[in-house]
Structure 1
Amino acid sequence: MSDERRVVLVTGGSGLVGQAIRIIIEEEKSLNNDSVKNESWIFCGSKDGDLRDKAQTEALFERHRPTHVIHLAAMVGGLFHNMAHNLDFFRENMAINDNVLSASHKNKVTKVVSCLSTCIFPDKTTYPIDETMVHNGPPHTSNFGYSYAKRMIDVLNRGYHESHGCTFTSVIPCNVFGPHDNFDLQSSHVIPALIRRMDDAMHNGDKTFTVMGSGKPLRQFIYSLDLARLFIWVLRNYDSVEPIILSVDEADEVTISTVAEMIKKAHGFPGDIVYDTTKADGQYKKTASNAKLRSLYKDFKFTPFETAIHDTVAWFKQNREHART
């Protein structure tokens, strides 16, 4: 990074990953890290402007004049919420992404790092998936709206680079979880939903706990604080417009039933876990390769999964009253 002052605007700054980035930046400041000394960080949430609206997006950029942007804002939801609202997910996310990148170009932003998702990859594919395979076929039908909208960020990035020389890039994280997650049962992802529902079960004195589906699907999960460190590294060090997967190693893939058992252990839930196999499983696996990340950042150490689950459950118990539920 150069010596010039950087103003980093984080969209979706009040969400799971935005909060994690804020925590890591505060940690760097407290340690007097040289990298953060010439940076000002601004975390914006939906209350600061509706990014679906072009005028509000441009007003936000004119107000803060960012030199760099981490674009996290999105309309998001879990499997069942996605399945019911594909059109909304497509249109709203397309609007958000187009407005943010347009405003970034208009304001001569040096670099934009946008957040994609492993759900963008083709449903019918070979594993592990890597960065070259994003556009190789249709995504899974369950959340095609969200998936295609996220894919289009990559198309926009390439277009802005080709037409204007912009360094707009994207990262593709595997499933993210951690403190400040969305624990709302209508729209949350699998880990926060299990944490919230198991907490409810303990309050109710339930003897069993039901997991939707067979528990057999495999997933890679990344702790939000690990992802935050990697996002900051990408902002400072990665200058290609080609996407980069930010994921734990392939060997760290776990079944949903393993996740449920670890959450049970973290909660101290005394009952049995049962599986409702009448409910949809979604994709069986989405194994992603982090070979590109490992080639560029060899010594990055991920938080052990069980530790991260324990810390997330502990955070939820302490913050249940004002967590997103």
Structure 2
Amino acid sequence: MRVLVTGGSGLVGMAIQHVVKEERGGYEGEEWIFLSSKDANLMSMKETRDVFRKHQPTHVIHLAAMVGGLFKNLKCNLDFWAAHEVGVVKVVSCLSTCIFPDKTTYPINETMIHNGPPHESNFGYAYAKRMIDVHNRAYFEQHGHCYTAVIPTNVFGPHDNYSIEDGHVLPGLIHKTYIAKKEGKALVVWGSGTPKRQFIYSLDLARLFLWVLREYPEVDPIILSVGEEDEVSIKEAADTVVQALDFKGEVIYDNSKSDGQFKKTASNAKLCSYLPEFRFTPFKQALKETCEWFVANYDTARK
């Protein structure tokens, strides 16, 4: 089993590396190859084919994409032809709850992806990601390949992109709080703080990725998320960051900034039916570990 991980130097890729190597999550007989953008430009068909022919993977975890938060124009580029050409047995791609319809009922589940247009703030990203699911189904129907996808909720952890402008909400909050504390200024949180999100620790996600790669039998995607009861507001998340970084200053909410979708509550019932005993790292503990990593690696962290 030779596993090729695209986006291997990103948030989830580094978490999978940690679980495979540091937690000894890799199995005997498995070979793991973690690619970064330095190894191949996956928007080039030639470079993609070349790197697949070089490594001849049997399994692929596809994480490479152009990603960011609400305030960045997002897009994703994907081709499976290289995987098909070299006989890859299984591909696991990474989708997002952003792909679900804007007008929907909650909680959302895996059957609802294509039930209507996505939120206008990320329609390009959402439609690109939806096409991965379409592609998976087509390859199964035409070639019998088990190409599938996971749908994590909001991922956070070490090795994230902590850009204030382009990053996701938690790493952006962590960076802004760090600077506000250092400079003795108020912490300005964009938006009202009322939207709610489910957050998943990158190391928990990595452990689930390994299970999907080895054991999940379906082409249909699966949501990887904490339960609905663990959903928190942006204000609650900001309060947790403030506590973790021991910030004592004023916290101001800038209501002139967009909130995005009010909520994207996802059901993890399908996951629980497969793994009823799986336990997620408590949010406060995971966020404290993330903040400690950011402070310790501030000079080299992506910002």
Fold shared per TM-score above 0.5? yes
Matched, 1:10 2:5: yes
What's the secondary structure of 2:27's corresponding residue? Answer: helix
What's the secondary structure of 2:72's corresponding residue? Answer: helix
> How much does 1:226 deviate?
0.2
- Which residue of structure 2 lines up, in the alignment, with residue 303 of structure 1? 281
Distance across 2 between alignment mates of 1:102 and 1:139: 27
Distance across 2 between alignment mates of 1:303 and 1:273: 27
Distance across 2 between alignment mates of 1:80 and 1:187: 6
The code of the aligned residue for 2:178 comes to D
What's the secondary structure of 1:251's corresponding residue? Answer: helix
- Which residue of structure 1 lines up, in the alignment, with residue 105 of structure 2? 126
Matched, 1:269 2:260: no
Matched, 1:97 2:86: no
Write the deviation string for residues 233-277 of structure 1: whole angstroms up to 9, x where unpaired: 000100210000000000000000000000000000011211111
Is residue 170–residue 244 contact of structure 1 (8 Å, CA) maintained in 2? yes
The code of the aligned residue for 1:131 comes to E
- Which residue of structure 2 lines up, in the alignment, with residue 78 of structure 1? 69
> How much does 1:36 deviate?
1.0
The code of the aligned residue for 1:97 comes to L
Q: Output aligned runs, 1:1-325, within 5 Å.
A: 6-29=1-24, 36-82=27-73, 89=75, 93=76, 96-98=77-79, 101-206=80-185, 208-325=186-303
Q: Relative to structure 2, which stretch is displaced further, 270-279 or 140-149?
A: 270-279
Distance across 1 between alignment mates of 2:112 and 2:22: 36
Distance across 1 between alignment mates of 2:192 and 2:23: 42
> How much does 1:293 deviate?
0.2
> How much does 1:28 deviate?
4.1
Segments of 5+ residues of structure 1 without an aligned counterpart are 1-5
Q: Relative to structure 2, which stretch is displaced further, 282-291 or 177-186?
A: 177-186
Is residue 209–residue 272 contact of structure 1 (8 Å, CA) maintained in 2? yes
Is residue 189–residue 252 contact of structure 2 (8 Å, CA) maintained in 1? yes
Residue 260 and residue 296 in structure 1: after superposition, are their counterparts in 2 closer, same or farther (change >3 A)?
same
Segments of 5+ residues of structure 2 without an aligned counterpart are none
Q: Normalising by the residue count of structure 2, what TM-score does the alignment of the two structures yield?
A: 0.98
Distance across 2 between alignment mates of 1:28 and 1:214: 39
Is residue 184–residue 249 contact of structure 2 (8 Å, CA) maintained in 1? no
Is residue 118–residue 286 contact of structure 1 (8 Å, CA) maintained in 2? yes
Distance across 2 between alignment mates of 1:113 and 1:227: 13
Distance across 2 between alignment mates of 1:308 and 1:164: 41
- Which residue of structure 2 lines up, in the alignment, with residue 3 of structure 1? none
> How much does 1:202 deviate?
1.1
The Cα RMSD (Å) is 0.9
Distance across 1 between alignment mates of 2:190 and 2:167: 13
What's the secondary structure of 1:37's corresponding residue? Answer: coil
Is residue 67–residue 110 contact of structure 1 (8 Å, CA) maintained in 2? yes
Structure 1 segments of 4+ aligned residues over 4 angstroms from their partners: none
What's the secondary structure of 1:228's corresponding residue? Answer: helix
- State the aligned residue count: 303
Q: Which has the higher helix share?
A: 1
Distance across 2 between alignment mates of 1:305 and 1:185: 21
Distance across 2 between alignment mates of 1:235 and 1:249: 22
What's the secondary structure of 2:296's corresponding residue? Answer: helix
Distance across 2 between alignment mates of 1:97 and 1:202: 40
Write the deviation string for residues 207-229 of structure 1: whole angstroms up to 9, x where unpaired: x2111100000000000000000
Is residue 28–residue 36 contact of structure 1 (8 Å, CA) maintained in 2? no
